[in-house]
Amino acid sequence: KHPSTVSIPTPSEKCGVLNVTKITENGKKVRKSWSSSWTVLQGSSLLFAKGQSGSTSWFGSNQSKPEFTVDLRGASVEWASKDKSSKKHVLELKTRQGTELLIQSEIDSVITDWFRALSETVSSHAWE
Ligand code: I3S
């Protein structure tokens, strides 16, 4: 007999480096500008810090404020269609405030983990 299935909880906190660009802000299309961002999922918020250029780590720098924060309550996340970007492994995140972001990693498993974490977060906060 099989042991009962162990479900691995989705972390409500997760962080890592992702490539990010806004494509829409408050309902208006904006120019794409990809940048590498230290990304933190914290509760129902997704925080992006400035890109990691040079050797100074984010923690060691004086950057204490996130560059921007996205509210995941009422947001949607899906795999981006091919016309959104020529890059591989791209997620499209749409917020209730009318901001759309593309989130990408070259590493398949990394972006798949983010997709799972973001989807879980979005669905658990959908009715707030
Ligand atoms: O959707 P687009 O316009 O093909 O996006 C590309 C541009 O944003 C381009 O910048 P400039 O057109 O400002 O030089 C970026 O360098 C590309 O990365 C964008 O396309 P991808 O397919 O990488 O998202």
Atom 8 of ligand 1, residue of closest alpha carbon? 32
What's the predicted TM-score (pTM) here?
Answer: 0.81
Whole-angstrom distance, CA of residue 51 vs CA of residue 18:
9
Whole-angstrom distance, CA of residue 50 vs CA of residue 121:
23
At residue 61 the predicted structure's pLDDT band, cuts being 50, 70 and 90, is: low
Lowest mean pLDDT among 15-19, 20-24, 46-50, 92-96: 46-50
pLDDT of residue 125: 84
Which ligand 1 atom is nearest residue 31's CA?
8
Measure 32 CA to ligand 1 centroid, in angstroms: 6
Cα torsion angle, 56, 61, 67, 73, sign: positive
- The verdict on the CB of residue 81 being under 6 Å from ligand 1 is no
Q: What is the mean pLDDT of residues 17-40?
A: 94
pLDDT of residue 67: 82
- The verdict on the CB of residue 30 being under 6 Å from ligand 1 is no
pLDDT of 12 strictly over 80: no
pLDDT of residue 10: 57
Measure 102 CA to ligand 1 centroid, in angstroms: 12
Q: What is the mean pLDDT of the chain?
A: 85
Atom 7 of ligand 1, residue of closest alpha carbon? 32
pLDDT of 37 strictly over 80: yes
The residue written with tokens 């299309």 in the block is 29
Which ligand 1 atom is nearest residue 34's CA?
18
pLDDT of 102 strictly over 70: yes
pLDDT of residue 55: 40
Please report, as a single letter, which amino acid is at residue 98. G
Measure 83 CA to ligand 1 centroid, in angstroms: 11
CA R_g for the chain:
15
- The verdict on the CB of residue 32 being under 6 Å from ligand 1 is yes
pLDDT of residue 31: 96
pLDDT of residue 24: 96
